[in-house]
């Protein structure tokens, strides 16, 4: 879209014409000391709270108070099958079939459980490939899996690196790595959208490349779920994991999501850790029978889930179900394109955007380098009423989130940045 314009009036006009504009009112926007809305640009770190969340959580507190244990069957939303109320909406968001998706555990726990099943090293094929600037938790997790299986965590880790003076990764380098080391690599595990640069990878391309060389392929979609159209089923990936507290607005530390491709749905020989929630629902409470594994992603569950966390997730997913990921990504591309347009007007000798300029290779996050800046710039932005995110050594991450950010937010943010730089 090349017809962006400068000036506040253009931003206000875009907001008036935005078919999703009323959804901003369905979220609690943090305010400053004077009661004015802060410019909140960190949905990529913690999404804002939907106003319905309190009602959804209170419903479960009320049912617990009045029904006690009978709430498992008699609650307005019975607790026993509660995770099933989330499956269809979550599957639509990540582009999967319901049998491929489950909400359970937390992000890195899910990553470990997936590696129990999909990292099966041998003496000759044991290495794990990740991106060189993976989110630290991913790196720590895969290193610990290498150690757990008796391998050296440095020698067994292969890093997909950008060229020396670049931040973004390119696929030719990945192809070269696999050409040289493909028969040594047991698992490729990439962050679907890189947390630092905001680069959205071609999941299908990576999966096909990995499978061609006999590797299992998984993705950490923490920065992708609710942000981009992941199309996990079509990607062919073996597995994916994601959290729900960023773009999915479910609250700090809330439960995570998990995808296992349907070709693995009925494979009972696939190694895994199990618990009673992965056992056949019909006989689960017979207690003394042999383990009878559920098909699909549900067959990776371990324990009965925390209902209060799931209630908060349900509040958010119901909004996603109402709007649809397609409309959200459509607005996201316009909003982020406008943000990019305004930033470039500040001068590319001052501002450098390290996120890909192709809208199909990013979500709503832009990672901004400001020449000669240090964290004091971020602190001044915070004092000016902008909630953004600083990442060492010199990057400010801002994510204009389509559910609750406006074109006016973007305009005001850039004006404040301009004033600070002057």
**C-alpha to C-alpha distances, 380 to 233, 351, 375, 388, nearest whole angstrom:** 43, 16, 9, 11
At residue 2, the pLDDT reads 64
d(CA 78, CA 70): 9
| Residue boundaries of the structural domains of the chain | 8-49+324-421, 81-322
pTM of the full structure: 0.96
Per-residue pLDDT, averaged over 401-409, amounts to: 98
Residue 342 DSSP class: H
Q: How many C-beta atoms surround the C-beta of residue 148 within 10 A?
A: 13
Q: By CB neighbour count within 10 A (0-12 exposed, 13-18 middle, 19+ buried), where does 179 fall?
A: exposed
Q: What is the pLDDT of residues 273-308, one digit of tens each?
A: 999 999 999 999 998 889 999 999 999 999 999 999
pLDDT surpassing 80 at residue 1: no
- pLDDT of 399 over the 60 cut: yes
**pLDDT value at position 110?**
98
Identical fold, 8-49+324-421 and 81-322: no
Q: Which two tokens stand for residue 189?
A: 């595990």
In CATH terms, is domain 81-322 a member of 3.20.190.10?
A: no
Kindly state the average pLDDT of the residues 215-223. 98
Cα angle, residue 243 at apex, residues 97 and 264 outer, rounded to 5°: 35
Which of left, alpha, beta for 253 (phi over 0: left; psi -120 to 50: alpha)?
Answer: left
Q: What is the pLDDT of residue 374?
A: 84
Question: Tokens standing for 202?
Answer: 């071609």
Q: State how far the Cα of 133 lies from the Cα of 130, in Å rounded to an integer.
A: 8
Which residues are within 8 A (CB) of 386 and not within 5 positions of it... i.e. 6 or more apart?
A: 38, 39, 41, 413, 416, 417
Mean pLDDT of 264-271: 96
For the chain, what is the mean pLDDT?
Answer: 96
> How far apart are the C-alpha atoms of 398 and 413, rounded to whole Å?
10
Residue with the bigger pLDDT between 376 and 17: it is 17
Q: How far apart are CA 413 and CA 391, in angstroms?
A: 18
Q: Can you name the residues that pair with 42 across neighbouring β-strands?
A: 399
pLDDT of amino acid 372: 83
Highest mean pLDDT among 305-314, 348-357, 364-373 belongs to 305-314
Each residue of 80-112: pLDDT tens digit? 999 999 999 999 999 999 999 999 999 999 999
Tens-place pLDDT, residues 241-253: 999 999 999 999 9
pLDDT at position 391 is: 87
In angstroms, the Cα distances linking 191 to 188, 195, 223, 273, 379 are 10, 8, 8, 23, 28
> 8-49+324-421 domain in CATH 3.90.1150.10?
yes
What does the pLDDT read at residue 165? 81
């Amino acid at each position: 879209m090349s017809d962006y314009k400068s000036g506040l009036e253009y931003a206000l006009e875009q907001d008036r014409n935005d078919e999703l504009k009323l959804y901003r009112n369905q979220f609690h926007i943090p305010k400053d000391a004077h009661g004015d809305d802060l410019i909140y640009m960190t949905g990529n770190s913690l999404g804002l709270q939907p106003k319905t969340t309190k009602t959804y959580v209170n419903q479960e507190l009320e049912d617990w108070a009045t029904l006690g244990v009978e709430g498992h069957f008699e609650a307005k939303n019975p607790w026993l099958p509660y995770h099933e109320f989330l499956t269809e909406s979550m599957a639509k968001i990540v582009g999967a079939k319901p049998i491929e998706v489950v909400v359970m555990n937390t992000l890195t726990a899910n990553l470990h459980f997936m590696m129990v099943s999909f990292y099966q090293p041998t003496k000759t094929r044991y290495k794990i490939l990740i991106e060189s600037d993976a989110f630290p938790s991913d790196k720590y997790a895969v290193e610990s899996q290498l150690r757990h299986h008796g391998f050296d965590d440095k020698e067994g880790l292969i890093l997909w690196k950008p060229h020396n003076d670049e931040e973004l990764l390119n696929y030719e380098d990945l192809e070269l790595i696999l050409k040289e080391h493909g028969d040594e690599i047991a698992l490729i595990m990439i962050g679907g959208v890189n947390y630092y640069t905001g680069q959205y990878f071609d999941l299908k391309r990576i999966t096909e490349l990995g499978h061609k060389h006999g590797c299992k392929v998984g993705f950490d979609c923490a920065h992708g779920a609710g942000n981009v159209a992941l199309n996990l089923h079509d990607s062919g990936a073996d597995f994916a994991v994601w959290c729900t507290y960023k773009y999915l607005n479910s609250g700090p530390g809330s439960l995570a999501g998990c995808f296992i491709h349907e070709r693995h749905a009925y494979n009972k020989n696939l190694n895994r850790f199990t618990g009673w929630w992965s056992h056949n629902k019909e006989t689960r409470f017979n207690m003394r029978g042999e383990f009878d594994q559920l098909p699909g992603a549900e067959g990776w569950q371990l324990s009965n889930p925390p209902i209060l966390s799931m209630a908060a997730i349900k509040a958010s997913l119901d909004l996603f179900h109402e709007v649809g990921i397609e409309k959200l990504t459509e607005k996201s591309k316009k909003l982020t394109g406008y943000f990019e347009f305004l930033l470039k007007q500040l001068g590319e000798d001052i501002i450098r955007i390290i996120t890909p300029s192709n809208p199909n290779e990013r979500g709503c996050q832009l990672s901004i380098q400001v020449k000669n800046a240090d964290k004091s710039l971020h602190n001044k932005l915070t004092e000016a009423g902008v909630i953004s995110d600083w990442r060492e050594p010199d990057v400010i991450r801002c994510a204009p989130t389509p559910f609750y950010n406006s074109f006016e937010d973007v305009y005001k943010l850039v004006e404040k940045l301009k004033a600070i730089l002057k």
